[in-house]
Amino acid sequence: MLLRSCRVIPRETHRIFISRSISSRKFEMAPPILSLALPSETGRVLSIQSHTVQGYVGNKSAVFPLQLLGYDVDPVNSVQFSNHTGYPTFKGQVLNGQQLWELMEGLKANDLLYYTHLLTGMPNDFLCYFIYLINEKILLLYIWISSCCYFAGYIGSVSFLNTVLEVVKKLRSINPKLTYVCDPVLGDEGKLYVPPELVEVYREKVVPVASMLTPNQFEAEQLTGFRIVSEHDGREACNKLHAAGPAKVVITSINIDGHLLLIGSHEKEKGQSPDQFKIVIPKIPAYFTGTGDLMTALLLGWSNKHPDDLAKAAELAVSSLQAVLQRTLDDYKTAGYDPQSSSLEIRLIQSQDDIRHPQIKFKAENYS
């Protein structure tokens, strides 16, 4: 009797009913994004940089260290390559401005565009391949620079840079306190890796909206139009950059009379004299990929933990970076490889403790 009273539901109807029920339950039971619902004490970072399947440059060099320091990091890969371009060949894909904006629209549609920090290494990672040939007293330096963004049109076009500026504007409309950390990769050693018109875009549009800027000596010169030949010049370049926008400026490497320095400057109140300092950096007889990306990520991570003490943040960042580089150098030597024969892939995973808990071996000297 019980069986006869049961109503048989057609198989197709049953399938549709189950599908709709599951879909409905999924929608109703969708969990919150915990990085938004329970934000970390450090912050939520959007990082727009390159990506390689093998090796550590761009986001591969920046995301993991920031995560170790407690940050939630969402990477956008401006390019996705098999390996960095210092190898004989590479394969991969390139993100254009329209595709970048589509990703932002997808995040916006799901209310996922709240970030505390934006990190860019534009124009992406210029990857250097150095070969030294010594003949008697002549040192021949051959540099293969593949600026995988500007020369090949990857992410270095004016249109892509303008899209990044739109991203900054959109993120700040949602979180006006957004911190934008920009590594303006334009060139090095007196050589410009990008078309001159892009320097103008950086100078006129990017620098004014940046919270922290991390140029090298040559890039600081390009952005200020000011030649740096002394420590005083480095400090003055920082002042010029402050006047253009960012409250924090770290010139990550300045070569003065054969000595390598970092000069940092923090303008805590607009118009007031900034706190300025230097850190003497040892020269390591080798070349590495991904170091600029790692350094900027570490500066972001530690400066947010020490918001009123940029010198302390720089000490931690430099000490971490130098420990990573020394371990990399030692491991290549252990493997029987000549570290001066080519650029070296940094030993990031093996250096976790140096990233989390660096021993401060490089102290800042404050300028009076």
For the chain, the residue count is 368
Average pLDDT for 236-260: 96
What's the pLDDT at 28? 55
- Catalytic annotation on 125? no
Q: How much is the mean pLDDT over the chain?
A: 84
CB contact burial 182-219 (16+ within 10 A = b; e otherwise): bbbbbbbeeebbbeeebbebbbeebbebbbbbbbbbbb
In this prediction, residue 209 carries a pLDDT of 98
Residue 144 pLDDT: 31
| pLDDT band at 166; cut points 50, 70, 90 | very high
The pLDDT score that the predictor gives to residue 156 is: 52
| pLDDT tier for residue 131 given thresholds of 50, 70 and 90 | very low
Statement: residue 3 has pLDDT above 80: no
Residue 160 has pLDDT above 90, yes or no: no
CA distance 114 to 173: 10
Could you please report the per-residue DSSP string of 153-183? Answer: SSS-SHHHHHHHHHHHHHHHHH-TT-EEEE-
pLDDT recorded at residue 29: 54
For residue 214, CA distances in Å to 44, 186, 197, 300 come to 20, 11, 20, 10
Q: What pTM value is reported for the model?
A: 0.84
* Interatomic CA distance for residues 232 and 173, integer angstroms: 38
Tokens, residue 15 = 């399938």
Catalytic residue among 188, 233, 293, 354, which?
A: 293
Would the pLDDT of 178 be above 80? yes
Nearest CA to 314 out of 275, 274, 260, 363 is that of: 363
21-30, 110-119, 204-213, 279-288, range with the lowest pLDDT: 21-30
* Among 363, 220, 215, 344, residue whose Cα is nearest residue 290: 344
Identify which has the larger pLDDT, 127 or 173: 173
Instruction: Kindly tell me the burial class for residue 38, based on how many C-beta atoms sit within 10 Å of its own C-beta (0-12, 13-18, 19 or more).
Output: exposed
pLDDT band at 193 (very low <50, low <70, confident <90, very high): confident
| Lowest mean pLDDT across 8-17, 235-244, 252-261 | 8-17
DSSP H helices in 335-362: 352-356
**What pLDDT score was predicted for residue 121?**
84
- Both tokens of residue 109? 């549609």
Predicted confidence at residue 6, as pLDDT, reads 44
pLDDT value of residue 10: 52
Q: Is the pLDDT of residue 151 over 50?
A: no
Q: What share of the chain has pLDDT > 70, as a percent? A: 82
The C-alpha atoms of residue 179 and residue 185 are separated, in whole angstroms, by 19
pLDDT of residue 358: 98
DSSP one-letter code for 121:
-
What 3-state DSSP class applies to 14? helix
Question: Which segments of the chain does DSSP mark as H helices, in order?
Answer: 2-5, 11-28, 34-37, 59-68, 97-109, 158-174, 196-201, 217-224, 231-244, 291-305, 310-334, 352-356
Q: Each residue of 59-84: pLDDT tens digit? A: 999 999 999 999 999 999 988 899 88
What is the predicted pLDDT for the residue at 171?
98
Contact 290, 55 (CB under 8 A): yes
Considering only residues 318 and 368, tell me which one the structure prediction assigns the higher pLDDT: 318
Cα–Cα distance measured from residue 148 to residue 78, given in angstroms and rounded to the nearest whole number: 10
